[in-house]
Structure 1
Amino acid sequence: MTMSDTSGASSLSARPDRSMVWRQQGLWVMNAPGVLPVATFMLVLVLWEVGCRVFAIPSFVLPSPSRIVGGFDAVSLARWIEHVWATLRVALIGYFLSIAISLPIAIVLARSEILSRAIYPILVVVQATPVVAVAPVIIVALGSGDLPRVVITCLITFFPLVVSTTTGLMATPPELIELSRSLRAPVIREITQIRLPFAVPYIFSALKISVTLAVIGAVVAEFVAADKGIGYFIQFSTSMFQVQQAWAGLVVLVLISLILFQVVTAVQRIWFPWSLPAGRK
């Protein structure tokens, strides 16, 4: 073998394999944040549209995505803003109120075993009671307006917050609690500086679940008694056989829930990055 043959072979072996480069670039694109969920969502939309057209599914049974877009156009932007704000207002008020209620209850349950045995069964009974069945009674008792809808939202959202926060507070290593008590640290410092930091991951897990449940609670209340809101809009549209508009309202609800979920996730990532799993910071 000549010198030129040797140099040519070495130069060819030094060149990167194009298929390997393309494969690595494809993996990089697929691993980019948000690419895979968006691609999956677009694939579902395409299959949905094709299925509705191929099988000639009636629009009153399952409208295609293109017809749902037409449902958006049939309603003015001012009406959409009015309905979205009505639902969002009730959901957020009920959500933050449930946070304010659940945190003290969780602290009490975590610190006192006797009170935990007394209160926890009541919380389970409240959670086991179908809110849809109780909603008309709450509406009659509290009258019209936002108050009964906020109460219904609280009933749906506060239980996961109480359970997860209590679990997080009780996950504190016992030796740290014994150390704080041996140093005669005040109870408030034990809770805020020892127990709560360990409970933050549990609390945010519950916050993410509850923020979507808050939207559900607001919609359930609007189904029972309301004159505005996305739940009212969906119920009114179905009663008028405007299925495309009802599906458009459902899409809006999904978008609201996704946005609120991402907001809570962003708050955790920005202010409490240490509470995230190692691979998701």
Structure 2
Amino acid sequence: MAQSTDTPAGTPPAPAVPGRFAVRPSTVVLPTLGLVIAVAAWWLATSGLHLVHPAALPPPQAVWRGLTGSAEVLLPALGITTWTTLLGFLLSAVAGVLIGMALAASHRVERMFAPLLVGINAVPKIAFGPLLVVAVGWGQKPILTMVFLLCFFPIVLSTATGLTTTPADLAELARSLNASWWQAFRKVRFPAALPQIFVGLKVAMPLAAIGAVIGEFYSDKPGLGYQILQYNGIGDTATAWAAIVLVALMSILLYSALTLVERLALPWVRATTSAR
């Protein structure tokens, strides 16, 4: 006789497990709602109540006209700034992780160079702008250097912190298995540090966009930073603000992409941590 597949009485149905790439409606609806509220407050402050002079902050409709009217200039500039931001961020990520690993590997190295890194990070980076042009010349080099100066410190700090705060039970497990230093690092310490490393990467991603724009202030690359200066110089503040809005949108998309990479690369984090 065939075995019955009916669920026994009183047994609650098993909860549906969402797919790995499932997107909850709130993931799209809530950010969209926040954007609508921000634009409405912007319109109210500029056009509704006239709290801000249009020369300082043009209303949303003026910025939209500036964006559509200069799209043939701003969209290629967006591509240039996006590429520079990504390239500078990747260079900063590689160098920052390596420097963080060096600091975590040796207390002497940490004591020698940690104060120097803190001092470099404390200097306002815009002060380096004119000096970078003299030091490395025009073009993309000063922009990438500015991105690196802004990005590397949070990545270094998060990497060093993650590698020096390995959970005690995992470290004891590696010792009990007689794992070598490299085996313990590859199998235990570095995977355990990845959530902390991604925190530093997510802090650094918006900073990379800031560094790219600041670097373009002192470069001949016609990115969004260059366009902001040009349009502001001729009094077209609406189009200058349109370029600023594009920088913000670019940063949001890059940050969201990095968050997606984190979720795909670290699937165990959401399963082993409490939900908010």
Q: TM-score range by the shorter chain?
A: 0.7 to 0.9
Distance 1:188 1:144 in 2: 42
Q: Where does residue 210 of structure 1 map in the other structure? A: 204
CA offsets 1:229-269 (integer angstroms, 9 cap, x no match): 00001111110100100110011000000000000111111
Change (3 A) 1:226 1:179: same
Change (3 A) 1:196 1:240: same
Which of 73, 76, 96 is 2:68 aligned to?
73
Secondary structure of the 1:235 match is helix
Distance 2:163 2:221 in 1: 41
Q: Where does residue 171 of structure 2 map in the other structure? A: 177
Q: Where does residue 279 of structure 1 map in the other structure? A: 275
Distance 1:173 1:120 in 2: 24
For the Cα contact (< 8 Å) 2:216–2:223, is it kept in 1? yes
Q: 1:7-86 to 2 correspondence within 5 Å?
A: 32-56=26-50, 57-77=52-72, 79-86=73-80
Per the TM alignment, residue 36 of structure 1 is displaced from its structure 2 partner at its CA by 2.5
Distance 1:104 1:173 in 2: 21
Q: Show structure 2 runs of 5+ residues with no match.
A: 1-23
Distance 2:175 2:94 in 1: 27
Change (3 A) 1:81 1:174: same
For the Cα contact (< 8 Å) 2:104–2:160, is it kept in 1? yes
Q: Where does residue 22 of structure 1 map in the other structure? A: none
Distance 2:126 2:160 in 1: 27
Distance 1:104 1:183 in 2: 27
Q: Which moved more, 1:242-251 or 1:188-197?
A: 188-197
Q: Where does residue 246 of structure 1 map in the other structure? A: 240
Which of 134, 144, 147 is 1:150 aligned to?
144
Code of the aligned partner of 1:66: Q
Change (3 A) 1:182 1:116: farther
Distance 1:34 1:202 in 2: 26
Q: Which has the larger radius of gyration?
A: 1
Q: TM-score, normalised by structure 1?
A: 0.83
Change (3 A) 1:182 1:44: closer
Q: CA RMSD in A?
A: 2.0
CA offsets 1:21-53 (integer angstroms, 9 cap, x no match): xxxxxxxxx982232332232122123223322
Per the TM alignment, residue 278 of structure 1 is displaced from its structure 2 partner at its CA by 3.3
Change (3 A) 1:51 1:152: closer
Higher helix share: 1
CA offsets 1:45-79 (integer angstroms, 9 cap, x no match): 123223322334542122111111001122133x2
Change (3 A) 1:40 1:89: closer
For the Cα contact (< 8 Å) 1:165–1:202, is it kept in 2? yes
Q: Where does residue 132 of structure 1 map in the other structure? A: 126
Code of the aligned partner of 1:65: P
Distance 1:188 1:93 in 2: 30
Per the TM alignment, residue 200 of structure 1 is displaced from its structure 2 partner at its CA by 1.2
Q: Where does residue 234 of structure 1 map in the other structure? A: 228
How many percent of aligned residue pairs carry the same amino acid?
A: 33
Code of the aligned partner of 1:69: W
CA offsets 1:97-146 (integer angstroms, 9 cap, x no match): 11111112111211211111111011101101111111211111111111
